[in-house]
Structure 1
Amino acid sequence: MIRSLIALGCVVILFTGCGTKRQYFEPESVAGKVKYDQNLPAQIVDVSRHGATLENGQIITQKGIIETRLPKGFVFLGEYGDRYIATSKCGDIIIIDGSGNKIYSRTFKQGIASASLQENVLAIVDRSNQLLLLDTQKDEIYFQSRQDTVYALDARIAAPYFLNSLVVFPTLDGKVVVVDKDTGRIIRDVVVSSEQFFNNVIFLDVVDDRMVVATSKRVISINPNMTAFLDVDVKDVIVLKERVFVFTKDGRVLLTDSDLNILKERKFSFAVFSGVIHGEFIYMVEKNGFLIATDLDLRTVNIYGLPSKIDTMVYATHDTLFVG
């Protein structure tokens, strides 16, 4: 059965699927219940950092559910203006427009881990940890750099980031590599962490003059004057102006300044965060069937019960959480 959920204020949660009997987080008090309200057209079958793919080929972006449908066997990687990138397990990559028309396609020997697009430049990280820049108009690869071999990946994989005349590549072995977009020259690389397994970059964002990058074991914040580190088991990260929220695998929420100095911490014992959305408040969906709401200073917390536990895929936009 496909169901959906509408939460507080403008926050909407769409839900499909059934709960499980496993129990982790049990709050002392619950402020209320959240009810189901809307429907997803199909179940979520794949989730990336920048969107999700439904079983019927529709995609979910930061704008919500898009009517455009992907060809069978393809999953969504990202939205760039009115163009969408998708890939298959066989190494095919396509760019389509809002009507589903194919603008570009190419097949690679390796599967695609993540990709981004700016004008005619396609930036790719493949699953062998090779970095590529490709001119889609000429169908030519003009930058190619193989990084260290990886043997195990975290399912959360960040996408390349276009920053003015630069491309910032998140690698699968815990680095960021900065490349000149026009010449393909490597400008700089930075080691985020050096774990042997599951060390791919899972988060990459730039706010003003600061870049925040995370693997599953470390968060770093880089500005022109310094690089700061925070060692923690990372579940998710939110970067706002002059503050960073780090959600940990052991149920903590850390509020830091832009240099990753911890300002405040909230602990939700045994909580497993499935998704996070933010606006005026931060909402954390907990797998045992709760919605945890807190203000941006972590001063007040309200916990609401969901109709069931969550054992399906989750994707969050800035104001909506899709569970399917």
Structure 2
Amino acid sequence: MKSIIFAIFAVALFTACSGKKYYEPEETSNNIELNKKSMSSSIKSMNRVGATLNDNEIITKQGVSQIKLPEGFEFINFTENGEVIATNYIDKILIGENERVVSDVVVAASKQGDKLALLYSNNSVELIDESSSKTLFKEYSTISLANDTRIANPVFMGSLVLFPTLNGKVIIVSLVTNEAVRNVAVDPDNEFNNVINLEVEKDSETLIIASPNKLISVSVREISSKDYELRDVIVKNGYVYVATVDGHIIKLNTKLEELAKRKYKYAKFHALAYSDSLYAVESQGFLINISDDFMSDTVYEFSFDNEKRLIAIDNKIYFDSDYITLP
């Protein structure tokens, strides 16, 4: 009887494993120079705009920095002057070389001039005048117990500051009156609905907002939205590019009208990057380069451990303790 049960279990296990589907390109190319370099250590933590290494050095849009954070702090953003903002996820944030005690755990932050915008783990937001240490605005939202780890930072936009929240909305606050002038509901219904992308496309002056399941654009004239299960989203050269859970790579304009789309069967994308054209990192060890008109693509073999952290910033892809620069 035991042997029969074991046989049934083995068959079931084999069937389950053999039922898994993986992306398999028809052909790959080796005709790419990735300029691979090593970092001082592996990636410990990361967000939308950078990462912290195990030895406390950081990665930002400027590349690998030799700045070392104090023990216990992790990078979350940088100021308009290039100063690093970091949090100890307890009771302090670091701005440049200055530590500041805060009232709760900071998970996202931005600074412009003397104005410091904070998002706390309890889903409250706060605007502080650093010169006087005065709280100019504070608002509490419903506590979110389940969050995507890609938490967007607040964004300063002219006379406004935009606070992404952990429960699927954006609070827009006037820097003139220090009052909320509008709330944008991004994705209030899903379990994982914190804002993972919040940025302004400067040419069209359009705000692009994303949660794990929703994409929204807000301009002076209109608000548009699309439902996608998102793996990643980037805004480049007036276009919005998304990678979805079901293996699509899509090019949209800032009104979120789909301009082009490509399907990669069974693909699981880790990140999107952009050099002269779009690149997508696929979990089985492939780097897909899509032409700007989306009419063709080239698939390259790209060896990395998909169980370890990977982040793409502009034309660089950082993974484990290495990084590459895309041509």
| Fold similarity call, TM over 0.5 | yes
> Residue 246 of structure 1 aligns with which residue?
242
Task: Point out the structure with the larger helix share.
Answer: 2
Distance 2:38 2:147 in 1: 32
State yes or no: 1:30 paired with 2:28.
yes
Amino acid at match of 1:49: R
1:266 corresponds, among 244, 255, 262, to 262
> Residue 15 of structure 2 aligns with which residue?
none
Tell me how large the CA RMSD over aligned residues is.
1.7
Contact 2:279 2:287 in 1 (8 A): yes
> Residue 293 of structure 1 aligns with which residue?
289
Distance 2:180 2:59 in 1: 33
Q: CA deviation at 1:195?
A: 2.2
State yes or no: 1:158 paired with 2:152.
yes
Distance 1:167 1:310 in 2: 36
Q: CA deviation at 1:156?
A: 0.7
State yes or no: 1:106 paired with 2:105.
no
The one-character-per-residue Cα deviations of 1:196-217 (angstroms, maximum 9, x if unpaired) are 4111011111113211101111
Kindly tell me: are residues 270 and 33 of structure 1, through their superposed partners in 2, closer, same or farther at Cα, counting changes over 3 Å? farther
> Residue 314 of structure 1 aligns with which residue?
310
Contact 1:33 1:307 in 2 (8 A): no
The one-character-per-residue Cα deviations of 1:235-274 (angstroms, maximum 9, x if unpaired) are 2112234422111112111112221111211111121211
Bigger mean CA deviation after superposition, 197-206 or 271-280: 271-280
Where do residues 160-309 of structure 1 align in structure 2 (5 Å cutoff)?
A: 160-208=154-202, 209-309=205-305
Where do residues 12-161 of structure 1 align in structure 2 (5 Å cutoff)?
A: 24-32=22-30, 37-80=36-79, 81-96=81-96, 102-109=97-104, 111-161=105-155
Contact 1:280 1:295 in 2 (8 A): no
Contact 2:231 2:271 in 1 (8 A): no
Q: How many residues align?
A: 297
Distance 1:226 1:38 in 2: 44
* Identical amino acids, percent of aligned pairs: 31
Task: Point out the structure with the larger strand share.
Answer: 1
Amino acid at match of 1:32: N
Kindly tell me: are residues 290 and 309 of structure 1, through their superposed partners in 2, closer, same or farther at Cα, counting changes over 3 Å? farther
Amino acid at match of 2:111: L
Distance 2:230 2:222 in 1: 22
Contact 1:23 1:288 in 2 (8 A): no
Larger RCO (alpha carbons 8 Å, 6+ apart): 1
The one-character-per-residue Cα deviations of 1:138-172 (angstroms, maximum 9, x if unpaired) are 22222100012212101111110000111011111
Amino acid at match of 2:124: Q
Using the size of structure 2 for normalisation, the TM-score is 0.86
Kindly tell me: are residues 237 and 308 of structure 1, through their superposed partners in 2, closer, same or farther at Cα, counting changes over 3 Å? closer
Using the size of structure 1 for normalisation, the TM-score is 0.87
Kindly tell me: are residues 23 and 41 of structure 1, through their superposed partners in 2, closer, same or farther at Cα, counting changes over 3 Å? farther
Which 5+ residue runs of structure 1 have no aligned equivalent? 1-21, 97-101
Runs of 4 or more, structure 1, over 4 Å off, are: 33-36
Kindly tell me: are residues 82 and 229 of structure 1, through their superposed partners in 2, closer, same or farther at Cα, counting changes over 3 Å? closer
